Amino acid sequence: MTLQQQFENLVGSSLTNLNSEDLKPVALGFWYEDYTPNLDKMNSMELRRAGYLLDLFMSFNCVSDLRQIELMALTQKIKENLPELKLVTSSKSLDPIAQEWDLDEDISTAIQPLLQYQTRHYVHF
C-alpha cells in the first residue's frame, strides 16, 4: 500500500480508533521521506483530519525548517478551502490542534509510541 493510500485510510475514518502502527508509516513519511499528500479528492471532514495530521506532524523537532514552511503552506491552503473553522469545545480532553481544525477527535494516545522516531538521531531505511 502506498503512503497516499495509507494517508487516505487515516483521514477517511475516525481518528479515535487509530493505533500507532496505523500512524507509523505516514508519520515517518512526513518526517523523513518528504511525503506530501495529494488532497484533491478529499471531502471537508477528510481535509480537516488531513490538516490536523499535517499540523501535528510538522511540529516535531525532526522536521527541517524548510519542510515546516512547505507543510505550513499546505495547511494554509486547506484552511482557505474549508468553511470557516470554529473552535470545538469538548467535555473530553482534546488536543488543542484538533480543536483548531474543528474536530472532536485526536490521535493523542496513538502518537505516544511514535515519539521514539521523532529524533534527529533516528535513521530511517
pLDDT mean over 30-40: 92
Provide the sign of the torsion angle of the four alpha carbons 40, 101, 69, 24, taken in this order: negative
Asked if the structure places residue 122 within a domain, the reply is: no
pLDDT of residue 81: 86
Print the domain residue range for 84. 3-117
Select the more confidently predicted residue: 83 or 38.
Answer: 38
- In this predicted structure, the answer to whether residue 121 has a pLDDT above a threshold of 60 is no
Per residue in 92-116, pLDDT tens? Answer: 678 889 988 989 899 988 888 888 8
Asked if the structure places residue 76 within a domain, the reply is: yes
pLDDT mean over 27-48: 93
The upper half-sphere exposure of residue 64, i.e. CA atoms within 13 Å in the direction of its Cβ, equals 6
Domain count, the chain: 1
Q: Note the pTM of the prediction, 2 decimals.
A: 0.88
Asked if the structure places residue 67 within a domain, the reply is: yes
CA dihedral 59, 4, 82, 27 (to 10 degrees): -20
SS3 letters across 101-113:
CCCCCCCHHHHHH
Asked if the structure places residue 123 within a domain, the reply is: no
